[in-house]
Amino acid sequence: MGIFKEKSTFAKFREKITNVIVGNPNLDEDFLDELEESLIISDIGIDTTEKIMEQLRERVNARYITKPEEVQKALESVIADLVDKGERNQLCKENPLIILMIGINGGGKTTSIGKIANLCQKSGRSVMLAAADTFRAAAAEQLQQWGERIGVRVIRHEEGTDPSAVIYDSIQAAKAAGTDVLICDTAGRLQNKKNLMKELEKMNRIIDREYPEAHRETLLVLDSTTGKNAVSQAQEFSEIAEITGLVLTKLDGTARGGIAITVTDQFDIPIKYIGVGEGIDDLLEFDPTQFAEEIFDE
């Protein structure tokens, strides 16, 4: 079984490619033009599509590919290389590590925190959670439920209190306990970017002051089913934070999936995790080669 439980994940993408291959007996410019159109329709942006097609043409010429059906493997290789950011695709393995989770409300941020915490624990790292989204109703309760579910401590304050105060207390608790990974939930209010930027800057200043030896990741959570809106969110969050990685949720719920390729290429941000289901074990470490293979896997 592949990584995606639902084969509809890349259904439209796969269908378009197959139709182009079956409908064109010759590998000519008409074939390549149709292939380019199918990529754009599959939520892959124009700039990224042009990059893919340029690299594909180079490989077709270099490998003397003459049959349309042979193009699929070459395209798979191009996509794998495009989303492969090397070691940047992996979560920092050094301890102690502080992860700031950012993303709009409703995108799966808090759930992703719980699942990443679960993965860290399975790899042998101790984990603590910080409920620093103090403005969203029930955010701390939701994180508390995850903490209880996987057996990790959650540091929280009353709703509406200063988020940075939660970060401060969480750092002290993590240091005292010798915790390997501290994962911090943050507010997802993009409608007021200036306030959110100040909030994140304050959090980072506290981390710099109180835990300078800690390694740091800032992960942006994007809901893959939102399509091109995910690109807009990546753009806006990139303006207010130094994002080190992406968590793409609900890839099992979209029939296109091309947005994953677009975001990582357009913003040069590595994908670290992909969500392929609702279960606690359905958040996977990103594998570029396996991801590209799944696109064409029936």
- The 10s digit of each residue's pLDDT in 103-156 is 998 889 999 999 999 999 999 999 999 999 988 878 899 999 999 999 999 999
The response to whether 102 counts as a known ligand-binding position is no
Q: What is the DSSP letter of 273?
A: E
pLDDT given for residue 190 in this prediction: 67
Q: Is 47 known as a binding-site position?
A: no
Please name the residues in contact with 164: beta carbons below 8 A apart, sequence gap of 6 or more. 132, 199, 202, 203, 206
Q: Is 153 annotated as a binding residue?
A: no
pLDDT at 78: 95
> Is 104 assigned a ligand-binding role in the annotation?
yes
* Sequence-ordered alpha helix ranges (H) in the chain: 11-23, 29-41, 46-62, 68-83, 109-122, 139-150, 163-177, 193-210, 228-238, 259-266, 288-296
110 annotated ligand binder: yes
pLDDT at 298: 61
* 125 assigned ligand-binding residue: no
Query: Is 30 labelled as part of a ligand binding site?
Result: no
Q: Is 109 annotated as a binding residue?
A: yes
To 5 degrees, how large is the angle CA 37–CA 40–CA 41?
Answer: 85
Give the integer Cα–Cα distance in Å for 223 and 242. Answer: 19
249 labeled part of a ligand binding site: yes
Predicted local distance difference test score (pLDDT) of residue 169? 98
DSSP label at residue 129:
E
- Map tokens 């180079």 to a residue: 58
User: What pLDDT was estimated at residue 1?
Assistant: 42
State the pTM of this model: 0.91
Handedness of CA 227, 228, 233, 238 (dihedral sign): positive
CA distance 99 to 126: 13
Residue-range domains of the chain with CATH: 87-296 (3.40.50.300)
- Taking 50 as the pLDDT cut, the residues of the chain under it are 1
pLDDT at 43 (0 to 100):
78
Q: In this predicted structure, what is the pLDDT of residue 18?
A: 77
pLDDT of residue 256: 56
How far is residue 119 from each of residues 42, 112, 122, measured CA to CA in Å? 31, 10, 5
70 three-class SS: helix
- In this prediction, residue 7 carries a pLDDT of 53
